[in-house]
Amino acid sequence: MTALLPRALRPGDTVMLVSPSGPTRPERVARGIELLTGWGLRPLLAPNAYARQGYFAGADALRAADLNAAFADPEVRGVLCTRGGYGAQRIVDDIDMAAVRRDPKVVAGFSDITALQLALWRGARLATVHGPGAAWLDERTPPGSAESLRSALMATDPIVVKRVETEETAPVTVPGTATGPLIGGNLSLIVSTVGTPDFPDLRGAILLVEDVSEAPYKVDRMLTHLRRAGALDGVAGVAVGQFTDCADGWPVTVSDVLAERLGDLGVPVLGGLPIGHGTGQLTVPVGTLATIDADAGVLTVSPGVT
């Protein structure tokens, strides 16, 4: 499971802003461009970054073309997704994996972009970056979130994320330590890859899960599906991020579900990590070696760039 690491971004590098999933908001992207420019990067909008077709950022062919153009262009050193939404799964089979392997670039995003990241892991063993999209919202991703993303994109230091006791998932913890490649992201998208070539082999891995707007019973259904499919057999540990706006009228919380469905796997589980759709979202590489120390409440991830 050795990862292919792209070069860290440097001041002066061109980064392509792409929309592989849902349509984005130009005013939020403008704020993201301001942020990236302040880091010395040269953001460039993909031709179809602002396209719209229903709940997609343009037709499948256009979204795939933007990705492949970015992967093929030697001047582009980073591919930053504007947002998630829905649609990445519809185009991942059209990605030019030979181009990805030939010239690995930093790829960053989260939410629906998990589908893209899992495809790149399957097709190229490319380590990617699970972090905020370029359609920036300061209210949700304050300066600490920005610095976390900048560090993951432009520095080669290990990433350290500490449990936040006020996060809803903080009680979802099973003592112990575990080390393995950090694999995963958005739970809904992980489950949606079951039965496809993109579903990762989680044996020996640290599984990262987070989600948004999923009722507890739906989270239960997804985790139960993974268990029944044998997908969690041999997993080394679980890193639990933010489960944002995941409540309904039943007297069962999403943390109750996570604790019950993950607590008997016989592996360390670390909850309360500010990774996901919540306020203060932090950035981590996926595909690189990580260690969870549930007793200390710390996730340490090897850099996703070299």
Q: What's the pLDDT tens digit per position in 173-198?
A: 999 999 999 999 999 999 999 999 99
For residue 274, which of 132, 125, 124, 116 has the smallest C-alpha distance?
132
First-to-final CA distance of the chain: 17
Q: How confident is the model at residue 207 (pLDDT cuts 50, 70, 90)?
A: very high
3-state secondary structure string, the chain?
CCCECCCCCCCCCEEEEECCCCCCCHHHHHHHHHHHHHCCCEEEECCCCCCCECCECCCHHHHHHHHHHHHHCCCEEEEEECCCCCCHHHCHHHCCHHHHHHCCCEEEECCCHHHHHHHHHHHHCECEEECCCCCCCCCCCCHHHHHHHHHHHHCCCCEEEECCCCCCCCCCCECCEEEEEEEEEEHHHHHHCCCCCCCCCCCCCEEEEEEECCCHHHHHHHHHHHHHCCCCCCCCEEEEEEEECCCCCCCCCHHHHHHHHHCCCCCCEECCCCCCCCCCCCCEEECCEEEEECCCCEEEECCCCC
pLDDT tens digits for 37-72? Answer: 999 999 999 999 999 999 999 999 999 999 999 999
> Given 19, 21, 111, 192, which residue is catalytic?
111
Give the model's pLDDT for residue 176: 98
**Burial (Cβ within 10 Å: 0-12, 13-18, ≥19) of residue 97:** middle
Report yes or no: 104 and 121 within 8 Å, Cβ to Cβ: no
Please confirm, yes or no, whether 19 is among the known catalytic residues: no
Give the homologous superfamily in CATH for domain 159-301: LD-carboxypeptidase A C-terminal domain-like (3.50.30.60)
Candidate list 21, 167, 168, 210, residue with the active-site label = 210
- Average model confidence (pLDDT) for the chain? 98
Interval 131-189: pLDDT, tens:
999 999 999 999 999 999 999 999 999 999 999 999 999 999 999 999 999 999 999 99
Domain 14-154 top-level CATH class: alpha beta
Q: What pLDDT sits at residue 43?
A: 98
| pLDDT at residue 279 is higher than 80 | yes
Same fold, 14-154 and 159-301: no
Among 130, 145, 148, 277, the one annotated catalytic: 277
- pLDDT value at 266 more than 70: yes
Q: Report pLDDT for 13.
A: 98
pLDDT at 1: 61
130 is an active site residue? no
What is the percent of the chain with per-residue pLDDT over 70, rounded to a whole number?
100
Can you tell me the mean pLDDT for 268-274? 98
pLDDT band, very low/low/confident/very high, at 2 (cuts 50, 70, 90): confident
**Look-up: residue for tokens 């549930």?**
294
What are the structural domain ranges in the chain? 14-154, 159-301
Cα gap 166→283, rounded to integer Å: 18
